[in-house]
Amino acid sequence: MDQITTARPIADGSGKPRLNVLLAGPRGFCAGVDRAIKIVEEAIRRYGAPVYVRHEIVHNRFVVESLERQGAIFVEELDEVPDDAPVVFSAHGVPKAVPAEASRRKLFYLDATCPLVSKVHREAEHHFARGRHILLIGHAGHPEVVGTMGQLPDGAVTLVEDEEHARSVPVPDGMPLAFITQTTLSVDDTAGIVAALRERFPGVHAPAKEDICYATTNRQAAVKAIAPRAALMVVVGAPNSSNSLRLVEVAERAGCPKAVMVQRGRDLDLSLATGLGTIGITAGASAPEVLVEEVLARLRERFDVAIEEVVVAEERITFKLPAGLNA
Ligand code: SF4
């Protein structure tokens, strides 16, 4: 769609210096995060507290703490979950060994893996069934990467982390190859890595449809649209959130002189915006809008803030809750 800008000028007559804020649209929660949070809330409502959640349901402390207040208990591994409590798997996906172990222990579990991550899992299985070795483009140690690699036996998937790695990573002799990607990568970096793989392995099989999800793509496009006009980009997100980290990088590469990540409004150092005419604000896919409002409130402590929302894409996608939690 064409870029839409909506100006919401605020003149507070306070004598504070004027600060123009470009709000990236879309920003914040995606459909997969929204669904994962609803699964935990609905599980608490139906089955009562506590409901255990394996790993942060989404990478955001504010969200995790608000679910803790409702009765969620976050753990890193299944052996921390008692036999008689429900457990939810996070939006990032889990290795197959995790639901297998939950079934062995007869735990009641709900899988909040984003359907777009599950799609990548099914692609990996599809390639494996056809005898292909899989190259997974992603970040080592990220839970989504751990979950995707864990769909298949050890050795079936090789992780490719960057362009240089794509040019040198050893692959098994004589096997056809396919690549898949993490859903929250930089669109531009991934294009470079894919180009390097195609150059080295011209027959490599590609995903039928992009693995980087719509939410990642749209949030990066929105940041690119405002970055050249902003002297500072504030990314509301968490340091362990892949898509939030990518927004910081995308902003700087798209021409914004400085980009900072903040988790809460109070984290923003107001002196960074002093003397600037225009700044940008966005939020990672796991950051709720209330945190963007906190940042705006923080800015209003020192500035007369005028907001212009720049929307590059409308998102209407929603995901159903798992069977049993609907209705
Ligand atoms: S960022 Fe994309 S893949 Fe991850 S939860 Fe959101 S929609 Fe799903």
Domain assignment of residue 232, yes or no = yes
Report the alpha-carbon distance of residue 34 to residue 114 in Å, rounded: 10
Domain assignment of residue 301, yes or no = yes
Closest ligand 1 atom, CA of 35? 5
Domain assignment of residue 84, yes or no = yes
For range 219-235, the mean pLDDT: 98
* Share above pLDDT 90 across residues of the chain, in percent, rounded to a whole number: 93
Domain assignment of residue 326, yes or no = no
Q: Confirm or deny that 30 is annotated as ligand binding.
A: yes
**Domain region containing 69:** 31-111
Asked if pLDDT for residue 1 goes beyond 80, the answer is no
295 neighbors 281 (Cβ within 8 angstroms): yes
17 and 70: one domain? Answer: no
**Of 94, 111, 128, which one is at a domain's C-terminal end?**
111
Q: Dump pLDDT digits (tens) for 119-176.
A: 999 999 999 999 999 999 999 999 999 999 999 999 999 999 999 999 999 999 999 9
Domain assignment of residue 322, yes or no = no
195 and 127: one domain? Answer: yes
11 and 86: one domain? Answer: no
CA distances from 10 to 64, 139, 181, 268, 282 (A): 33, 42, 43, 21, 19
193 and 274: one domain? Answer: no
Of the pLDDT bands very low, low, confident and very high (cuts 50, 70, 90), residue 6 is low
Q: Which residues line ligand 1 (CB under 6 A)?
A: 30-33, 91, 114, 116-117, 183-184, 213, 215-216, 243, 285
Q: How many CB atoms are closer than 10 A to CB 11?
A: 9
Closest ligand 1 atom, CA of 30? 6
Residue closest via CA to ligand 1's atom 5 equals 32
Sign of CA dihedral 136, 138, 139, 145: negative
Asked if pLDDT for residue 327 goes beyond 90, the answer is no
74 and 60: one domain? Answer: yes
Reported pTM: 0.94
Domain assignment of residue 323, yes or no = no
Cα–ligand 1 centroid distance for 134 (angstroms) = 21
Cα–ligand 1 centroid distance for 286 (angstroms) = 9
Mutating to test ligand 1, I would choose from 35, 59, 184 the residue with most ligand atoms within 8 A of its C-beta, which is: 184
Domain assignment of residue 320, yes or no = no
Report cis status (omega within 30 of 0) of the bond before 153. Answer: no
pLDDT of 8: 54
256 and 175: one domain? Answer: no
**Of 111, 137, 152, which one is at a domain's C-terminal end?**
111
Q: Dump pLDDT digits (tens) for 284-313.
A: 999 999 999 999 999 999 999 999 999 999
Q: How many CA atoms lie within 13 A of 43 on its CB side?
A: 30
Domain assignment of residue 178, yes or no = yes
The number of domains in the chain is 3
Q: Dump pLDDT digits (tens) for 163-174.
A: 999 999 999 999
82 and 167: one domain? Answer: no
